[in-house]
Amino acid sequence: MNEELLKKGYVQVYTGNCKGKTTAALGLAFRAMGKGLKTYVGQFMKGGEYAELESARMVSPYITIEQYGKKGFIKLTNPPPQEAVDLASEGLEKAKKAMASGQYDIIVLDEINTANYFNLIPVEAILELIKNKPDGMELILTGGPKAHDRVIEEADLVTQMVEVKHYYQQGVPAREGIEK
């Protein structure tokens, strides 16, 4: 880890019900790469081919992405399907190992707030990650529609993304290289 650049390391939350949370986190990873910092991205509830996976392969070892989901959409119910809970739990363990490895300056847990919202991960597990974050490491937690109030309270920086207008509303599907 490059503790010279990240003496303390903060906890950032990007939340909201619209586009841009993952993109903001990946933009931070890209900026950090320019200073020689290494980022681990764990993607909860995702298991498909997103363009960021190919991009990460191109800039390895600076950005590493692992997905903790299955391909396709998870049909979430209350209570959630056990398979979805198991995948999120396995992802949480991988995220903890990445945090403890000393290999990364930045840990991005993409859609972890969404996994909490859908009862796949308890808020206590997220709070434990925050509490156990090593000094000199930045921790970014994304997802929505809203991060848990306790996560917001513990974070150092919180950005609430608010949709004003989106072309999805006119029937434009997700586009390769832009939204996926």
| Nearest one of 115, 123, 159 to 140, comparing CA atoms | 159
| Nearest one of 162, 168, 176, 172 to 20, comparing CA atoms | 162
d(CA 64, CA 106): 11
Q: What is the per-residue pLDDT for 39?
A: 98
- DSSP sequence for 64-126: EEEEES-SS-----SSPPHHHHHHHHHHHHHHHHHHHTS--SEEEEETHHHHHHTTSS-HHHH
What tens-digit pLDDT sequence spans the chain (180 residues)? 766 666 889 999 999 998 899 999 999 999 999 999 999 999 999 888 778 888 889 999 999 999 998 876 667 788 888 999 999 999 999 999 999 999 999 999 999 999 999 999 999 999 999 999 999 999 999 999 999 999 999 999 999 999 899 898 889 988 888 888
Tens of pLDDT along 48-98? 877 888 888 999 999 999 999 887 666 778 888 899 999 999 999 999 999
For residue 162, the SS3 value is coil
| Nearest one of 152, 134, 24, 42 to 88, comparing CA atoms | 42
d(CA 39, CA 61): 9
What tokens were used for 104?
């990364």
Intra-chain end-to-end CA distance of the chain, in Å: 30
d(CA 38, CA 21): 19
Q: What is the per-residue pLDDT for 4?
A: 65
CATH homologous superfamily of domain 11-161? P-loop containing nucleotide triphosphate hydrolases (3.40.50.300)
